[in-house]
Amino acid sequence: MFELSFDPRKGGKVLPDSVRIIEAGLKSKDKKLAAACNACRNGELRLMIEKRFIDARRNKLKIIYRFDFADEDTFREKQDSIMDAAFPHKEYFSEHADENPRPLVVGAGPAGLFAALILARYGLRPIVIERGPEMKKRIADCENYMNGTARLKPDSNIQFGEGGAGTFSDGKLYSGVSSGLKSFVNLMFVSHGAPSDIMYDAHPHVGTDKIRDVVVNIRKDIVSLGGEFLFETLFQGYKKDKNGLSYITVQDKNGSREIKCSGMILAIGHAGRDTFRALERLGIAMEPKPFSVGVRIEHLRQDIDIAQYGIDTNDTPDLMAANYKLACDTKTGRRLYTFCMCPGGTVVPSQTSEGTVCTNGMSVRLRDGANSNSAILVPVDSKDYGEGTLDGMYYQEKLEKLAFMAGGGDGYAPAARYGDLSEGRVTTEFGKVKPSYRPGVRPADLKQVFADSILDTIVDGVEQMGRKIKGFDSPDAVLTAVETRSSSPVRILRDRETYQSINVPGIFPCGEGAGYAGGIMSSAIDGINCANALAFALIKDTKRL
């Protein structure tokens, strides 16, 4: 393994990572490295970048690459091992795929898409049911709402539609989940159009502008393999017989109908509240789970850049806007932490019904917006909202309705300067940080939204975070309410080994909505695992399924 570092402040030509490494390696005093780079340039070896990361410690800003070289056979073996990890049953389905009925996948977010991709590559021709529209229509509906030229569409918004909530995000693929399937997910993103650096970047991201094309390409791949997508089709419920799941009910523009089914990936996402209500009525085993609520905090991108790197990233093409991840315990006894940080991004509306306001963050690939934002969240549990299975969901709805009213009752979001909130004043105007939320914000008293214990945690926590990142507690930092959908408020219970619902065999609860993931990467991995569990069930019981 070799390592090279570069100072992004020195400027020079902007080169692809591989070219930069080879050019530097050829000039290296390390004879072994120089010889390997020469062999790579001549096509005798392949460069394999293992990791790229930024080291800004001790005011010595560096971009560091760790890499190695391999011959063509070794490189192919590594690629094959990445693929093999995702398809443990490929030998069986290469011979028996046509003997099995078509499985269903409910939801076309990261979990559902990757589940469908696995099933399609097994030859099982999955049917994907998505309540929202395909990508082009969904993007237009979201833009029209954010521009103020159209009303919110309940089934076509930043939560619902092709690609799920991950489509309108930063396209972050970083995850703390330990799984060998990470490389497979990254490889699938790259093979469907994502930038190749996500394979080795320490904090990989695709960008919301790029991930949209990737999602469409994955869908086209699934269709080419015999899969089918039913857009603008709402999953309403299921019926079971003595063996478990027998069929599901869906509704589209032609009305309600039944689809016979014995195996279904249920990847509904955590915004499908009407689906949670339907599942509770039907009696599927669920339990409440803790989640978090808070606000989006915005700073000037250049201020965060300088605090983290010592320079404005606009001054060098080798760096994108700076990231951060913070957490602290506060004097209230509660914890505050940052989540889904969007460097150089914007705050966007993620509500799914009129009369509510809910926020999320989004960045494009270049991360070159004026502001950087992140959720700052306070964990909540049954002590805050009650013991009922759906009480957490009702608490989320309550906060979103309060935010709608605090913002003026017309879809604008309530927002405050941190300096005003910390001093107990109501914001009347904003300073150097201009809120990015569309359709717009109004200065508001956040006490109309949150209990004092939540606001006190935010105030104290942001002050502490200001000791870790200079200027984080700037009086001009903007807090936009409300962020409620960092994770699902419920968990649909499943067997640890079979991944099936503990009381409805044939249903495979999956992804964020089922309470088993949090983000694009972990959702995709859960989708892969659930798809393989369904495939294994087919192998065990081909007559019934």
Q: Tokens at residue 240, please?
A: 């079971």
Are residues 350 and 465 both part of a single domain? yes
Are residues 382 and 351 both part of a single domain? yes
Instruction: Give ∠ CA 471-477-478 in degrees, rounded to 5.
Output: 160
Q: What is the dihedral of CA 127, 129, 133, 135, to 10 degrees?
A: -50
Q: Which of 32, 51, 70 is the last residue of a domain?
A: 70
CA distance 413 to 444: 9
| CATH number, residue 492 | 3.50.50.60
The whole-number average pLDDT for the span 417-441 is 97
Residue at 52 is within a domain: yes
User: Phi/psi of residue 9, each to 5°?
Assistant: -80, -10
CA distance 104 to 261: 7
Q: Which of 435, 456, 483 is the last residue of a domain?
A: 483
Is 60 exceeded by the pLDDT of residue 544?
A: no
Q: Which of 453, 483, 513 is the last residue of a domain?
A: 483
CA distances from 226 to 190, 234, 247, 410, 544 (A): 22, 22, 21, 45, 22
Q: What is the DSSP string of 488-501?
A: -SEEE-B-TTT-SB
Residue at 89 is within a domain: no
Are residues 170 and 319 both part of a single domain? no
Are residues 323 and 456 both part of a single domain? yes
Residue at 80 is within a domain: no
Q: What is the pLDDT of residue 540?
A: 79
Is 90 exceeded by the pLDDT of residue 215?
A: yes
CA distance 301 to 436: 12
pLDDT in tens, 325-367: 999 999 999 999 999 999 999 999 999 999 999 999 999 999 9
Q: Are 119 and 103 in contact (CB under 8 A)?
A: yes
Residue at 76 is within a domain: no
Are residues 301 and 372 both part of a single domain? yes
Are residues 59 and 207 both part of a single domain? no
**Coil/strand/helix, residue 246:** strand
Residues 208-239: b if buried by 16+ CB within 10 A, e if exposed:
bebbbebbbbbbebbeebebebbbbbbbbebe
Work out the end-to-end distance of the chain between its first and last CA atoms, rounded to an integer number of angstroms: 48
The whole-number average pLDDT for the span 243-261 is 94
User: Which are the contacts of 71, defined by CB distance < 8 A and separation ≥ 6?
Assistant: 44, 45, 46
Q: Tokens at residue 2, please?
A: 């070799």
Confidence of residue 93 (pLDDT cuts 50, 70, 90): confident
The whole-number average pLDDT for the span 26-49 is 96
Are residues 295 and 164 both part of a single domain? no
Are residues 205 and 234 both part of a single domain? yes
Residue at 221 is within a domain: yes
Residue at 236 is within a domain: yes
Are residues 282 and 308 both part of a single domain? no
CA distance 388 to 489: 11
Q: What is the CA radius of gyration of the chain?
A: 24
Are residues 386 and 493 both part of a single domain? no
CA distance 496 to 214: 31
The boundaries of the domain holding residue 160 are 99-287+488-540
Cis peptide before 482 (omega within 30 of 0): yes
Are residues 372 and 269 both part of a single domain? no
Q: How many domains does the chain have?
A: 3
Residue at 81 is within a domain: no
CA distance 160 to 163: 8
Are residues 167 and 246 both part of a single domain? yes
Q: Are 483 and 419 in contact (CB under 8 A)?
A: no
The whole-number average pLDDT for the span 71-90 is 95
Is 50 exceeded by the pLDDT of residue 543?
A: no
Q: Which of 478, 250, 543, 274 has the alpha carbon at shortest distance from 390?
A: 274
Q: What is the pLDDT of residue 424?
A: 96
Is 60 exceeded by the pLDDT of residue 184?
A: yes
Residue at 88 is within a domain: no
